[in-house]
Structure 1
């Protein structure tokens, strides 16, 4: 086993089960308005990995901090704030998929250690991304309707105070998506695995288009379910994720 050489800072990374001698470390970027708690619990299903949830400002333990609204600023702060312990994998769901890819691209630009692989979930490739309306143009009811349209009404907490906290982070995250640059794909020389739900609002072809963003191996798999398909098909999902992690370890041992 390989011991990790770095640690996530207390503000940016949260880990439920520390395992410094795990075969690989996985950093999980949450969806819009999301927090890392759900992803941290994945360590129970992935014993070969030390799983970290990335905690963004404006939510959870960082609620008092203003959230980022510009993609370059957010990605730069992530790379400044997290010392990624090798070997590592970046996972991102929805908005988190965009952040995971951009974080990897920023690591390339800074000539820093790169992830063994990217796992991108429930997000169209950036050049097919639909830029949302400005958060300033949406009142709470319109924002709730947009969430229900994309994720289903069950994902909206009815408590007014909880909704107010959630919507603050969501509005900032909408602006982050709006700031995503419209530019040709920057292919990374990394293995990329893309996962999605067959009943999600984005067509499968828009997820498969991530193959334009890697010069390395590419895998694409759909599961039965909606935007949060991994909650509906946990056994299949974790089996696929564990296989990705095993492939990363095997490739590293062959070097």
Structure 2
């Protein structure tokens, strides 16, 4: 039985361990490999990064050996942009391409209007960051009111928003792997912004919408995981 590795990149403010519960729910042939970013989780002692392309290059060097086995990339929100840039950086290193790239919960790299722009290119205050968390509706109010937790979370979130806000799309040859986009029907990304991901690959493309807002991947976890398994199972059989 061929095992596929699913390299998962976290969203803003999160550790890669937000994907750890998927390990219990996915079949044995699909191995979840959370990719931790500097400055959080097991890498808390490392400096936070605010340059997305520099971070993607760093991660490509770290994950280079992982590409010797069949693998796919997945990211949600910030993680989707990072997974996309990581795919290009791995390609530049001459690594085998991913079997698929899953971009969840964010607009395509060329359609970031309403996301980044001038508004997020400079560091935001604690209150502005908390306001954004409330808008995204993924953080309980009791967590937002916990000063100790917020003192740990907000510096990470501030840096992660700068990663997105200072992101600059670069024109390059398109990827060749299948690109699967997952979106929430109440999230801020429009269908046109999600469909624009299709321009980033000359391989197969799909868009699947789920009920819910920005954190639909947790709200509707089982259908999301079912989508991943359905997309990757044919690759397992042919790998």
Number of the residue aligned with 1:217: 204
1: CA distance, partners of 2:17 / 2:70:
22
Secondary structure of the structure 1 residue equivalent to 2:13? coil
5 Å matches for 1:73-92?
73-82=54-63, 83-85=65-67, 86-92=69-75
Secondary structure of the structure 2 residue equivalent to 1:25: strand
TM-score normalised by L of structure 2: 0.90
TM-score normalised by length of structure 1:
0.85
1:69 maps to: 50
1:19 alignment counterpart: none
For residue 208 of structure 1, report the CA deviation from its aligned partner.
1.4
Native 8 Å contact 2:211 2:220 kept in 1? yes
1:97 matches 2:77: no
Partner SS for 2:151:
helix
The residue that corresponds to 2:158 in the other structure is 171
Q: Let me know the Cα RMSD of the aligned residues.
A: 1.8
Task: Give a deviation string over 1:45-91, Cα, whole Å, max 9, x none.
Answer: 11221111111111112222111111121011101112224100001
Q: Which residue of 2 aligns with 1:249?
A: 236
1:35 partnered with 2:15: yes
How has the CA–CA distance of structure 1 residues 81 and 122 changed in structure 2, closer, same or farther, with 3 Å as cutoff?
A: same
CA contact (8 A) 2:138 2:215 kept: no
Q: Which structure 1 segments of 5+ residues have no match?
A: 3-22
Query: Partner of 2:145: helix, strand, or coil?
Result: coil
Q: Secondary structure at the match of 2:21?
A: helix
Mapped partners of 1:228, 1:246: distance in 2: 25
Q: CA deviation at 1:179?
A: 2.6
CA contact (8 A) 1:127 1:184 kept: no
Q: Which whole-Å CA distance do the structure 2 matches of 1:39 and 1:119 have between them?
A: 14
- Distance across 2 between alignment mates of 1:49 and 1:152: 27
1:51 counterpart = 2:32: yes
Bigger relative contact order, structure 1 or 2, given CA contacts below 8 A and separation 6+?
Answer: 2
Cα distance in 1 for partners of 2:169, 2:57 equals 18
Q: Describe the shift of the 1:153–1:33 C-alpha distance in structure 2 as closer, same or farther (beyond 3 A).
A: closer
Give yes or no for contact 2:87–2:97 (8 Å, CA) kept in 1. Answer: yes
Alignment of 1:199-218 (within 5 A): 199-218=186-205
* Aligned residue number for residue 154 of structure 1: 140
